[in-house]
Amino acid sequence: MLDIDLLRSLIWTDYRLAVVFTVLLPLVLLVWAFVQRAEALQLLLVIYWKVSSLLAITLYLMIGGLSISFVTALMARVLIPISLWYWADINEEIREQPSGLLKLVFSAWRWAITVYCAVGALFQIPFLRCAFSRAALGDPTCQAWLEAPRLYKAYLHASYTPGFLAFWGIVGLVIYLLVLGYFVFFRIGRQGRSAINQ
C-alpha cells in the first residue's frame, strides 16, 4: 500500500494534469480550430466536451462526498479516449488534412490525453472499493481523492453547501446517463462510426 503522503502527492499531480489535459489544452484547441475553420477538429472537440462533461459532474459528486463519484471518475477516463478515436469519418478527414501546426498539436494532445486517461484509469481501479463500501469511503486513501474538489468548492462555491452542489452533480449525472443511453441504444445502430449529425 502506498504511503498516504505519496498518495496525496500523486492525486494532486493527477488533478493538476487533468486541468491541463482535459480543460486548458482542449479549450485552446477548440478556439484555434474555429479560427482555422478546421471543421473535423471542431466536430471532434465538441464531441470531446460533451463526453468530458462527466469530469465536471464527478467533481460536484466528490464535493458532496458521494461514493458514486469514484465510478464516474473511472468511467470518464474510459469514455474520453473512446470519444476521440471512435469516429471513422473524422479520423479519415484528419488524416487527409494538410500538415500544419494545428494538426500536429491536436494529434499530440489526442495521444497525450489517451495515455493520460489510460494510466489514470489503471491508477483509479484500486480505489473503486471507495464506491462500494461506506467504511472504505471514510478511509484516508479514499478521502485523499476528495481534497482537491473540496478546495475547488472553497474557492468557487464557498457560499453553497456540499449537499446542494452534490444535488446538481446528481442531476447532471442523470441527464448524462440518459443521453449516453440514448446514444448507445439508438444512435449507434443508425450511424455506426459516423459522426455526421452529432
Per-residue confidence in pLDDT tens, the chain, 198 aa: 568 899 999 999 999 999 999 999 999 999 999 999 999 999 999 999 999 999 999 999 999 999 999 999 999 999 999 999 999 889 999 988 888 999 999 999 999 999 999 999 999 999 999 998 877 778 889 999 999 999 999 999 999 999 999 999 999 999 999 999 998 888 887 877 777 654
Domain presence at residue 108: yes
What is d(CA 165, CA 188) in angstroms, rounded to the nearest whole number? 33
Q: Is residue 198 part of a domain?
A: no
Dihedral angle of Cα 143, 149, 151, 157, to the nearest 10 degrees? -140
pLDDT value at residue 1: 57
The answer as to whether 197 is a domain residue is: no
Q: What is the chain's alpha carbon radius of gyration, rounded to the nearest angstrom?
A: 18
Residue 10, domain member (yes or no) = yes
Single-letter residue type at 32: W
Domain that holds residue 165: 4-191
Q: Is residue 129 part of a domain?
A: yes
Cell of 2: 502506498
Domain count, the chain: 1
pTM for this entry: 0.91
CA distances from 127 to 90, 91, 143, 191 (A): 35, 34, 10, 36
196: in domain = no
